[in-house]
Amino acid sequence: MTLRISRSSTPDAIVFALSGDMDLEHVARLQELLANETVNRVTLDLKEVTFADRAAVQFLASAEASGIRIVNCPRYVRSWIAAETESQPQRKSHDFRERSPRWPR
């Protein structure tokens, strides 16, 4: 499985456009990239994501809870994020700049 990650900047945020299949391995790489960002406003653009496994969805739910904006999210991924969020009401948000690159655990 392959995930392409393209980084760009806008006046409002750093945007990571994701394309392809997203799984645990790709989550780890994206986590590393997010940990290196010093700008508080980060957007993940999922317009070209064709597949996301549970680890990816859990990551996206935590990213969104920490304030990362998610745009162009496929409907099935958005539904799964909502389900993950509802099933983990006590889950704390994560500041990705303070986390180990090995997240999620």
17-46 pLDDT, tens digit each? 999 999 999 999 999 999 998 877 999 999
* CA distances to 2, 27, 63, 101 from 46, in Å: 14, 13, 13, 21
Provide the residue type at 44 as one letter.
Answer: L
Q: How does pLDDT run across 47-92, given as a tens digit for each residue?
A: 999 999 999 999 999 999 999 999 999 999 999 999 988 887 654 5
Which residue intervals of 21-91 are DSSP H helices?
A: 24-35, 54-65, 75-87
Q: How does pLDDT run across 1-17, given as a tens digit for each residue?
A: 699 999 999 888 999 99
In the three-class reduction of DSSP (H, G, I as helix; E, B as strand; rest coil), residue 7 is classed as strand
Residue 28 burial (10 A CB sphere; 0-12, 13-18, 19+)? middle
pTM to 2 decimal places: 0.80
For the chain, which domains are there? 3-87 (3.30.750.24)
105 CB contacts (<8 Å, ≥6 apart)? none
